Every structure is written in C-alpha cells, then in structure tokens.
Amino acid sequence: MNGLRIIICWILLLFLVLPVTAVGGDAISGISPSSGQAGNSYTVTITGANFTNTSGSVRFEKGSDDFNCNSPTTWDYISPTNKIVCKVKIPSNADLGYWNLIVVKGWDKTEILKTNAFAVSEEMSITSITPTSGRMETDVDFTIAGKNFNKDYIDDVFLSIDDFDTNISADDFKVDSSTKITGTFDLGDVDEEGDYDICIIDDFGSVECKKKAFEVITNAEGTLEIDSNPSGAAIYIDNVANGTTPRDIDILVGTYKVILKKAGYQDWSKTVNVQEDETTTIDATLYAAPTATPTQTQSTPYPTATPTTARTTIKSTMKIPTTYAEVPTTTAASPIEPWVIIGAVCLALIALRKR
C-alpha cells in the first residue's frame, strides 16, 4: 500500500514538474511579425509547443535557399505557450514570397516545421502624392511616386488617420511602373478632416506609409460680406476677381486674402478666416491715392553754339604712282679767251674807219 502511494506521489510530482506542452505534439503556432522586406533586420517572436529546454536554432527556408534567425535572446519552454525571440537579417537578394519556418530542437535536433510562415517582400518607399489635399464629398484622382512598386504583390492603397483608426481605400488603382501608382479616392463618406497618412500594403502584410502626406479638407461654407466706401471697388480673393462691392459671397471654410481695388484710390487688403456657417464682415474705407505735384524750375538760357563742320577724311583705296622730280642738268660753260674778245673789237674799229 505504501509503495502504491509512493508511485502515485511520483507521478503527481512529474506532472507538476514537466511542462504541460510536453503532453502535446511539436508545433509552431505563430510568428510576429509574419513578414519583412529584403535587406532589413527584424526581431521576431515565435510561439508554439515542445521547443525543449535546450536552445536549438531557427531558420527560414525556401527551396534550396535559407537564412537563419540568429542568437535567440529568449528560448522559453516552461510556459504553456513556448516562445522563442531572435533576430533575423533578411538577405537583400532573398526571393520574394513565402518562406517556411523551421525550429530545430536543441537536445535531439528534431525539426518543427510551419510552411509559408514568413513572407519576404521588396522594400517599398513613397516619395510623394499629387495632389496633396482633397475636399470631402469629392472624388480625387491621385498619383503616388516612389520606388519598388511591384504590381504582382501590391494589395491595397489607402489613406489612414490616427494609426489606422480610419482607413479610406482607393476605389481603384493601377501600378503603372515600379515608381508610379495612379488611382482615385472617394471622399464622399469621409466625416473627419485632417492630415492623413498615405499607405500601401502588399499581399504579405507589409505596410509602407508616408506620414501626413494628404489633407482632407471640409466642404463646409461660410459667408464673406464685403463693402467699401466708396463702393464699386473690385474684389480679389486670393488674387482671383470676384465682383465689386458691396457683395455677399458664400465660400468654403478657410483663410483668404481679400484685396479691394478702385481707380484713384489706394489698394486695400486684409487676411480673413471664414468659419463654418458664420458671416465674416469687411467694411473697408478707401483712401485717395496721392497725386504728384510737378516741380517748377526756372529755365536757364544756354548759348547757341555755332555748328562746326567736321572735317571728313576719306581714305582712298586708289594707288597713286610715286612721282620723282626731274633735276636739271647743268652744262659747264666753255671758257672764252681774252684775245678773242680784243680781236673782235679791233676788227670792228677798222671797219668803221674805212667808211
């Protein structure tokens, strides 16, 4: 009898010491997060049963490719739900799609498999959305610019506010290229104005958002009651002509710059804030534009200048031959002998006597 009691006590003690999960089979119940983008690092938490009391290893496998979840920081085998926490670096060239998750027990190296447990997607990014705002109860055609948009995997494009508390999915969208998505948002049922995130989610659950990139604007209206003294001034609201004073204008809620213009008067301007279902009154006094008084100046007579005819020099292109001056040739005089002269005189005298 005592022996039976001892056996029962040992059995009860074993049930108290051994983890409850040891009664069931090996299993992986889940992983969080269940997806990641190639090239990024994540800390994942794996839950299941019968992970054993000796740390083993964790890996992701697809076909012949695999990568490890390294250095488990937690390997809990005692709690009703066993838990492993480890860090994984997804290779930048990892195939997109679903990967199997394998937990290898530490003491006997047996493997626990969960198929299609983790999804690898391409790292998307959103650069901008055009337009950046839209009014309630309207349809807004949009264009999203970014990179790594994969038409085979993008599941939804949506606007979100307050951490996904309110989501507005695009009625339809098209992935035009890896850098461009176009579509339409129906803001007809939106009842909350404000700044929304623009988000893209793929088939694997990866979400990429650009914070506060799109503003939903109320379509509520107020009234601008505009008058001036004198009346008849042209009204410009945000530089757009809108009749003349006096005038009442129903306008969407918002902040506007009002300018009044009238010939002969100085321009008048003011920034006003229009509230929903309220009237904003403008009663402007216009002041005459200052006129310039001409300055009288005494005329000073100036001496009349005698026009001077400027000498005009024309440069000729005609070639002028060089003329050389003729130098007269001097012939040396022949010398006359004195006896010739005396002889001539004597002959003349003799001739005169004979007469």
- Can you give the length of the chain in residues? 355
Least confident of 20-24, 71-75, 242-246: 20-24
Measured distance CA(36)–CA(168) in Å, rounded = 24
Domain limit, last residue, from 285, 312, 330: 285
Q: What are phi and psi of 126, to 5 degrees?
A: -110, 125
Q: Are 157 and 139 in contact (CB under 8 A)?
A: no
In a domain, 85, yes or no: yes
Residues 6+ apart with CB under 8 A from 91: 38, 39, 67
pLDDT in tens, 281-294: 999 999 999 986 66
* pLDDT greater than 80 at residue 53: no
* Cα–chain center distance at 45: 37
End-to-end CA distance of the chain: 227
Residues 193 and 242 in one domain: no
Q: What is the chain's alpha carbon radius of gyration, rounded to the nearest angstrom?
A: 55
Share of the chain above pLDDT 70, in %: 75
Residues 6+ apart with CB under 8 A from 97: 62, 119, 120, 204
pLDDT in tens, 290-322: 986 666 655 555 554 444 444 333 343 344 344
Structural domain of 73 = 18-121
CATH number for the domain harbouring residue 256: 2.60.40.10
What is the reported pLDDT for 297?
A: 56
What is the reported pLDDT for 311?
A: 38
What's the structural domain count of the chain? 3
What is the reported pLDDT for 46?
A: 94
Measured distance CA(106)–CA(93) in Å, rounded = 29
Domain limit, last residue, from 78, 101, 121: 121
pLDDT in tens, 195-217: 999 999 988 888 899 999 999 99
Residues 244 and 200 in one domain: no
Question: Which pLDDT band holds residue 227 (cuts at 50, 70, 90)?
Answer: very high
Q: Is the pTM of this model over 0.85?
A: no
Residues 202 and 272 in one domain: no
In a domain, 315, yes or no: no
